[in-house]
Amino acid sequence: MSEHAFATRAIHAGQAPDPTTGAIIPPIYQSSTHVQDGIGGFRDGYEYNRAGNPTRSSLETQLAALEGGVDALSFASGLAAEDALLRGILKPGDHVLLGNDVYGGTYRLLTRVLAPWGIETTTVELSDIDVLRAAIRPETRIVWLETPSNPLLKIVDIALIAEVAHAAGALVVVDNTFASPALQQPLGLGADLVVHSTTKYLGGHSDVLGGAVVFGDDRFVEQVKFQQFAVGAVSAPLDAWLTTRGIKTLAVRMHQHSENAQAIAEWAASRPEFAQVYYPGLAAHPGHAVAGRQMIGFGGMLSLGLAAGADAARAFAESTELFQLAESLGGVESLIGYPPEMTHASVRGTELAVPENVVRLSVGIEDVADLIADLEQGLARIAR
């Protein structure tokens, strides 16, 4: 399957027709347990749903194929995936270097859940390679990054970071949720592991919760798989099936998300109401050149800084209609959020705090003229 193009792999990897009936869509194996052919005689390795499920296995095969990995594991949420990865690899006394613009839940997991266990975390500006070099310690085990980052759409050079981190004996983990493997494949750029909230672009329809870890090689597969089994935060069969269904249209969806977001970013850049437009598809974005090298599209996420400040940002987030006020991202419908009090409330008062004038847009695949008209009427409302 690896020889096929991305869109083909998204539809066919792990998706063989049902051998019993010939059903073109593999079934949902809802069973919680599997009959054994004698004690320890597992059929195709299946014994109990927490340990393994055929529907989940299909999704994991699909995920590995999309990211160019050797294996993948599917979890109940993106944070469950991150937790299993970190607990599977780290030990007390280890150090994590974290990008200084990341999802608030990742920061909370590291600094409030894993810190008492003896894990130290330092946030750093990863786009400055000299800053990264200076921040790496002998006990640094992981360099964790998002690119594009959440919510300020920072871009970092994955290949360069991997070179520096590996020279120091550290691993590189990339949260690829914003880009999706349709636009960026970090393992091919030197990253060791990739994580996803499959709730977002991979599922793509705002109807399923999930997460994933994809492995560039087999060094950590068993360690993380043990965490998955022992702790049990696995994706349910229906959730795995819904994610698989969403992935089949990922390539065409990401094309439209990116096209719409580019048009909105260019419109916003012409409006005096916005002091900042955070979108790597704009030539003025500091990471534009790097994004152009390591991505095949600039994605559907962008953030806007309201020139009038925090009150205007909050009012604007509450004034749109097609852009609906909600957390999450990556669905076919457009969403707007106010990160300082929504997705990133957990980093308020820290070095990761989001500017108070910022709103975040998850640009859907609706007609882009309608979306721009909605943003225009939102601006008109707050100007009254």
- Condensed to tens digits (0 to 9), the pLDDT of residues 228-269 reads 999 999 999 999 999 999 999 999 999 999 999 999 999 999
Question: Is the predicted pLDDT of residue 55 greater than 90, yes or no?
Answer: yes
Q: Which of 56, 87, 154, 200 is catalytic?
A: 200
pLDDT at 205: 98
pLDDT at 3: 78
pLDDT tens digits, residue range 291-307? 999 999 999 999 999 99
Question: Is the predicted pLDDT of residue 2 greater than 80, yes or no?
Answer: no
Percent of the chain whose pLDDT exceeds 70: 99
pLDDT at 135: 98
pLDDT at 384: 79
Q: Which of 46, 103, 201, 338 is catalytic?
A: 103
What pTM was computed for the model? 0.96
Q: DSSP string of 28-64?
A: ----SB---SSTT--BTTB-BTTT--HHHHHHHHHHH
Task: Categorize the per-residue pLDDT at 191 as very low, low, confident or very high, splitting at 50, 70 and 90.
Answer: very high
Q: Is 201 a catalytic residue?
A: no
Q: Is 217 a catalytic residue?
A: no
Q: Which of 175, 201, 239, 279 is catalytic?
A: 175
| Nearest Cα residue to 105 out of 200, 36, 35, 28 | 200
Question: Is the predicted pLDDT of residue 112 greater than 90, yes or no?
Answer: yes
What mean pLDDT comes out for the span 195-212? 98
Torsion sign across C-alpha atoms 285, 290, 296, 301: negative
Task: Categorize the per-residue pLDDT at 19 as very low, low, confident or very high, splitting at 50, 70 and 90.
Answer: confident
Cα(245)–Cα(242) distance, integer angstroms: 5
Cα(165)–Cα(15) distance, integer angstroms: 36
pLDDT tens digits, residue range 325-375? 999 999 999 999 999 999 999 999 998 999 999 999 999 999 999 999 999
Question: Is the predicted pLDDT of residue 24 greater than 80, yes or no?
Answer: yes
Residue 45 tokens, joined? 């390795």
Cα(49)–Cα(337) distance, integer angstroms: 36
What mean pLDDT comes out for the span 211-218? 98
Q: Residue 303 is which amino acid?
A: S
Show the beta-strand stretches assigned E in 307-345.
324-325, 335-337
Q: Is 50 a catalytic residue?
A: yes
Task: Categorize the per-residue pLDDT at 218 as very low, low, confident or very high, splitting at 50, 70 and 90.
Answer: very high
CA distances from 46 to 16, 35, 123, 219, 236 (A): 18, 9, 41, 23, 15
| Nearest Cα residue to 230 out of 48, 77, 40, 28 | 48
Collapsing DSSP to helix, strand or coil, 146 comes out as strand
Task: Categorize the per-residue pLDDT at 99 as very low, low, confident or very high, splitting at 50, 70 and 90.
Answer: very high
Q: Is 91 a catalytic residue?
A: no
Any idea which residue has 């709103």 for tokens? 359
Cα(14)–Cα(72) distance, integer angstroms: 12
pLDDT tens digits, residue range 277-296? 999 999 999 999 999 999 99
Rg (CA), the chain: 21
Cα(172)–Cα(187) distance, integer angstroms: 9
